Amino acid sequence: MDTQDTPGYCSDLTLSYGRQKSAIRELFEYGKKISRDKGPEQVFDFSIGNPSVPPPRQVEEAFCSLLAKESPLALHGYTSAPGDPAVRRAIAGQLNRDYQTAYDESNLYLTCGAAAALSSTFRALTVTGKENEFIAIAPYFPEYKCFVEGHGARLVPVPSSLPDLDIPLEGIDNAITSSTRAVIINSPNNPSGKLYREPELQALGSLLGKKSQECGHPIFIVSDEPYRELVYDGRKTPFIPPIYPNTIVCYSYSKALSMPGERIGYVLVPPELNHHARDIYDAIAGAARSLGYVCAPSLIQRVVGLCADVKPDMTVYDLNRRILFDGLTVAGYRCIKPEGAFYLFVEAPEGKAKIFSEYAKTNYNLLIVPSESFGFPGYLRISYCVSTERIQSSLPLFAECLKKYER
């Protein structure tokens, strides 16, 4: 590399993270530009996973009642580093009611969203002086790479099993080495909407249990769950700790409570995490401390404490999902029907995702994300967290786009 790229007075790696824009962000910025220049009705922006359903009314009520009733010094003051104990108790209570567990506040560490939870967890599991590998099942959320590699560890992608994007047991079996620290699970999945079933999670658990014994150290599941509550057709996301005890859960309220900007979530270190639960909890707490997380934002902590049992209203997302899936299928697209989250994963014509995405953008202002950045080429991610009207009016364009492209 030449000296201009490796200046020697700052980190090359973080410089590259700061310079490189994600494919998603680039499309999003393009969409904002068209919207300003030609009017918002001219652009069909399906690029971003920003909730389109307003926060539940309980969220706004919680903000107002806290601001009206609580002492400002207490409300905006430091909480303990793991978060306000009463808030953690409220969350433990919700988990216990929903999953028949027996957690308490000592199992929870509140974080600035799932990103902070994941980065702190990866940092904590990265052992000094050793090789460290984290397995991600592709397609995966692109930021995993940056969270893992930023701490000097390596992300090892393993492609999902086709056609249904199941857990690739054989691939994971082959990818595990003595340096493997964890397998990252993200179900419901961004970008595919895939939801894993209990039997395949059990099979993964058996494999990891066996491999942990062989390696002589635990191989954890890090379960990234921002979409846990966003499921369709009356399904329930299987809760992984009872299936595989060595599971660390990273949760975010961003999507379920429609407040992604407020940065609130948690790490759950279940007590059943073999005999190392306290060490792992402390190592995550210490990682969060050294990354500069003093505590999660205090007012938002309290809001979440009051809304621990609030579930998202899925009506609009479900309607969008059906209209989009049916409309695109009729138009000739091959789509994977999402069972959770708010993304539709569509096969790119001839597998050429980047080319088709560019074509759709240039000719129809349809902004859809090619799947290369998710580590799984040949697909397109369509975020349907937009108004239903936008989906309906986009359908003729999607149809025409495919027809003209294939000609």
Residues 196-255 close enough to bind its own copies by CB under 8 A: 217-218
Binding mask 156-195 for its own copies (x = CB under 8 A): -------------------------x--------------
Contact range with its own copies by CB under 8 A, out of 73-81, 221-229, 236-244, 366-374: 73-81
Under 8 Å between Cβ of 240 and 247: yes
* Angstrom distance (rounded) from CA 407 to CA 404: 5
Under 8 Å between Cβ of 297 and 112: yes
| 217 CB-near residues (< 8 Å, 6+ apart) | none
In sequence order, which ranges of 130-197 are alpha helices (DSSP H)?
A: 143-149, 169-175
* Angstrom distance (rounded) from CA 103 to CA 184: 22
Does 263 contact its own copies by CB under 8 A?
yes
Among 24, 27, 59, 249, binds its own copies (CB under 8 A): 59
Q: Alpha-carbon torsion 22, 23, 25, 29, what sign?
A: positive
Contact range with its own copies by CB under 8 A, out of 189-197, 299-307, 334-342, 355-363: 299-307
End-to-end CA distance of the chain: 43
Does 17 contact its own copies by CB under 8 A?
yes
Peptide bond preceding 139 in cis form (omega within 30 of 0): yes
Identify which of residues 16 and 174 has a Cβ nearer to its own copies in the complex. Answer: 16
Q: Least distance from C-beta 384 to its own copies, angstroms?
A: 16
Write down the number of H helices and E strands in the chain.
14, 13
| Spatial CA neighbour of 195 closest among 344, 311, 341 | 341
Does 55 contact its own copies by CB under 8 A?
yes
Footprint (CB under 8 A) of its own copies, residues 112-151: 112-113, 115-120, 123-128, 130, 143, 146-147, 149-151
Q: Least distance from C-beta 233 to its own copies, angstroms?
A: 26
CA 150 to chain centre: 18
| 175 CB-near residues (< 8 Å, 6+ apart) | 135, 156, 158
* Angstrom distance (rounded) from CA 297 to CA 314: 27
Strand-pairing partners, residue 267, are 109, 250
Q: Least distance from C-beta 302 to its own copies, angstroms?
A: 10
Footprint (CB under 8 A) of its own copies, residues 327-346: none
Identify which of residues 13 and 330 has a Cβ nearer to its own copies in the complex. Answer: 13
| Token pair of 232 as six digits | 């369709």
Strand-pairing partners, residue 231, are 340
Q: Least distance from C-beta 61 to its own copies, angstroms?
A: 10
| Spatial CA neighbour of 184 closest among 126, 241, 122 | 122
Identify which of residues 82 and 327 has a Cβ nearer to its own copies in the complex. Answer: 82
Q: Is 199 exposed, middle or buried (0-12, 13-18, 19+ CB in 10 A)?
A: exposed
Does 282 contact its own copies by CB under 8 A?
yes
Identify which of residues 149 and 166 has a Cβ nearer to its own copies in the complex. Answer: 149
Does 54 contact its own copies by CB under 8 A?
yes
Among 36, 42, 77, 330, binds its own copies (CB under 8 A): 77
Q: Least distance from C-beta 381 to its own copies, angstroms?
A: 17
Does 12 contact its own copies by CB under 8 A?
yes
Q: Least distance from C-beta 118 to its own copies, angstroms?
A: 6
Contact range with its own copies by CB under 8 A, out of 54-62, 98-106, 185-193, 330-338: 54-62
Q: Alpha-carbon torsion 287, 290, 292, 294, what sign?
A: positive
Among 93, 271, 286, 377, binds its own copies (CB under 8 A): 286
Contact range with its own copies by CB under 8 A, out of 2-10, 201-209, 222-230, 362-370: 2-10
Helix (H, G, I), strand (E, B) or coil at 274: helix
Among 34, 169, 243, 291, binds its own copies (CB under 8 A): 291
Identify which of residues 50 and 161 has a Cβ nearer to its own copies in the complex. Answer: 50
